[in-house]
Structure 1
Amino acid sequence: MALNYTVYKYDGSRNAVVMTDMDGKQLVIDCDKAEAQVTFDEPEDVGILARLAREEPASYVSVAMRPGGLQDYVDVWNELN
């Protein structure tokens, strides 16, 4: 059964990205849990992922679902900046 999620939003009260499909079913990605194993070069680098979740929740989910995705995203971000 394929799920077609049509709405992606960041829920600040839960620090989570919520995806809602056409039937109203929700999938919640808890950002704290998703980022638990990510290592940051600087403590303030945590904002990289917070901004991604807030501004581009669909991209956050796409990156988070890949093996090593969030860590790879942070590593590339640090290389480019």
Structure 2
Amino acid sequence: MTKIIFAMYNPENDCVEVNLNDEIHVFFNCQKCNASVRLNKPSDIAYLTRLAKEEPGLYAKSASRDGGLQGYVEAMGEFN
């Protein structure tokens, strides 16, 4: 598994920018990533928005795994 060196949320284009090393830079378009998640309530999108802004590295890891963001939303729904 590749280690994330740096991750940040960019509000100008609603994406998470990730640096894996000096040469590899990955961008996760939040709108596209979030579109694949089934929400029980429309307000559940706030879980993903907050994750991208406050924990961009975890957002990137979750978005890169099959069902990762879906699992995150479902887990957060159980806690709240």
The normalised TM-score by structure 1 is 0.85
| SS of equivalent residue, structure 2 residue 59 | helix
Moved more, 31-40 or 48-57: 31-40
Q: Who is 2:69 aligned against?
A: 70
1:15-37 residue CA offsets vs partner (Å, 9 max, x unmatched): 10001244254210101111111
Pairing 1:7–2:6 present: yes
Aligned pairs, number: 80
CA drift of 1:47 comes to: 0.7
In 2, the alpha carbon distance for the partners of 1:13 and 1:23 equals: 23
In 2, the alpha carbon distance for the partners of 1:21 and 1:63 equals: 15
1:11-67 residue CA offsets vs partner (Å, 9 max, x unmatched): 011110001244254210101111111111111111100000000000101111111
Q: Who is 1:19 aligned against?
A: 18
Q: Who is 2:43 aligned against?
A: 44
RMSD: 1.8
Q: Is the alpha carbon distance of 1:78 and 1:3 closer, same or farther for their aligned partners in structure 2, counting shifts above 3 Å?
A: closer
Letter of the 2:54 counterpart:
E
| SS of equivalent residue, structure 1 residue 40 | coil
Larger radius of gyration: 1
The normalised TM-score by structure 2 is 0.86
| SS of equivalent residue, structure 1 residue 33 | helix
